[in-house]
């Protein structure tokens, strides 16, 4: 039997996350054929995709021509730009490019949200479904959190439950090694003064609420629970000393950490709570728990799952997207949440000593 042909893939955006995704694609030539790379930085236009991420020449030249990408012969697009909220727009602005790609005959895996598109209402769902029908394609939103830690993993654990009273998920992440200034400083607001942070964080707050609201609603829907609302609160911490991170320099009195809490409420009582703690450098910020993930399924029995460390969240998020390509391409046309697809694994990259 002849070996299956590699799936033809486009990488859309090459920020910190997109570059990790691109490395994953190029390291698995038996599975994936990279056909094009869309970039936003003028300095990246015309560069070889492999050389862009420190690998050998791939023969694929990066472009900023969206029309070239739309007409490319590809099975799937890994869509990984900064979210629309970074530019002061509503989250649904990302639908413009996503629907154009879907209608052009390409499946789309995005990390800009859309793990539960129903959260945006029936108008958005119908628009996406129309594009999927036109192109015979599927849309899948994924990542590491949301996309795995705050939805897939808790749902897997509820399989051991006889009764569920409350689901609690906590993420604590260290951003000292995150290289994207656009994300860490401009979007999250780290290194900014308290006044500047209050202004700049507004768009990020909308993005966070949309993103984790999706995750909470997806879990509730999967368990047959109708939420009344998703409540959000956030706070921040100021640095007491100067220190450097990959994305810039943190000065005393500037924002160095934030904590976000999202609660899906039923009659005023939380059914699911997601707590997100982000630190510019966890060794310098003592407030709030250190890096790792914790999941509590409160009920009968009570279940606790702790993951002390994910050494590189960007690699994990990119890998989860890349490992989903085959399943998304094989799925029937339409919106495909994590509940509709086989579990994405890294079997294609297993190496034994």
Q: What is the pLDDT of residues 114-140, one digit of tens each?
A: 999 999 999 999 999 999 999 999 999
pLDDT at residue number 83: 80
pLDDT at residue number 59: 97
312-334 pLDDT, tens digit each: 889 999 999 999 999 999 999 99
pLDDT at residue number 310: 86
pLDDT at residue number 92: 65
Angle between helices 95-103 and 122-135 (to 10 degrees): 30
Query: pLDDT averaged over the chain?
Result: 94
For 314, the enclosing helix (H) or strand (E) is helix 313-322
Contact by Cβ (8 Å): 210, 113: yes
pLDDT at residue number 353: 53
Contact by Cβ (8 Å): 306, 294: yes
Whole-number Å distance between alpha carbons of 157 and 223: 12
Q: Read off the pTM.
A: 0.93
Residues of the chain with pLDDT under 70: 1-2, 85-92, 347-353
124 CB neighbour count, 10 Å cutoff: 18
Question: Structural domain boundaries of the chain?
Answer: 7-143+315-349, 152-309
pLDDT at residue number 113: 92
The CATH number given to 7-143+315-349 is: 3.40.50.720
Contact by Cβ (8 Å): 294, 310: no
Range 152-309 classified under CATH 3.40.50: no
Same fold, 7-143+315-349 and 152-309: no
What is the DSSP secondary structure assignment for residue 332, as one 8-state letter? P
Whole-number Å distance between alpha carbons of 61 and 80: 18
pLDDT at residue number 85: 64
């Amino acid at each position: 039997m002849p070996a299956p042909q590699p799936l033809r893939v486009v990488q859309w955006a090459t920020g910190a996350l997109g570059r990790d995704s691109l490395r994953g694609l190029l390291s698995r030539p038996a599975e994936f054929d990279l056909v094009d790379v869309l970039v936003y930085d003028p300095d990246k236009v015309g560069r070889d995709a492999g050389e862009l991420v420190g690998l050998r020449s791939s023969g694929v030249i990066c472009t900023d021509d969206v029309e070239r990408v739309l007409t490319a012969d590809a099975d799937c697009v890994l869509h990984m730009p900064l979210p629309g909220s970074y530019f002061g727009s509503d989250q649904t602005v990302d639908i413009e490019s996503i629907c154009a790609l879907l209608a052009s005959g390409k499946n789309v895996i995005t990390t800009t949200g859309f793990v539960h598109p129903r959260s945006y209402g029936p108008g958005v769902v119908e628009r996406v479904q129309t594009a999927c029908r036109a192109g015979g394609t599927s849309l899948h939103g994924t990542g590491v959190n949301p996309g795995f830690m705050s939805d897939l993993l808790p749902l897997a654990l509820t399989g051991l439950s006889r009764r569920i009273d409350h689901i609690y998920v906590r993420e604590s992440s260290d951003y000292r090694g995150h290289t994207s200034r656009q994300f860490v400083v401009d979007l999250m607001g780290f290194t900014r003064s308290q006044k500047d942070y209050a202004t700049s964080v507004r768009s990020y707050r909308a993005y966070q609420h949309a993103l984790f609201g999706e995750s909470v609603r997806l879990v509730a829907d999967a368990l047959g629970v109708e939420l009344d609302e998703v409540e959000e609160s956030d706070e921040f911490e100021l640095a007491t000393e100067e220190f450097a991170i990959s994305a810039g320099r943190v000065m005393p009195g500037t924002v160095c950490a934030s904590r976000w809490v999202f609660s899906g409420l039923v009659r005023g009582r939380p059914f699911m709570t997601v707590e997100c703690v982000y630190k510019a450098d966890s060794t310098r910020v003592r407030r709030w728990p250190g890096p790792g993930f914790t999941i509590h399924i409160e009920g009968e029995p009570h279940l606790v799952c702790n993951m002390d460390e994910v050494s590189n969240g960007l690699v994990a998020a990119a890998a989860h997207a890349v490992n989903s390509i085959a399943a998304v391409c094989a799925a029937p046309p339409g919106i495909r949440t994590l509940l509709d697809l086989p579990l994405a694994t890294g079997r294609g990259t297993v190496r034994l000593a």
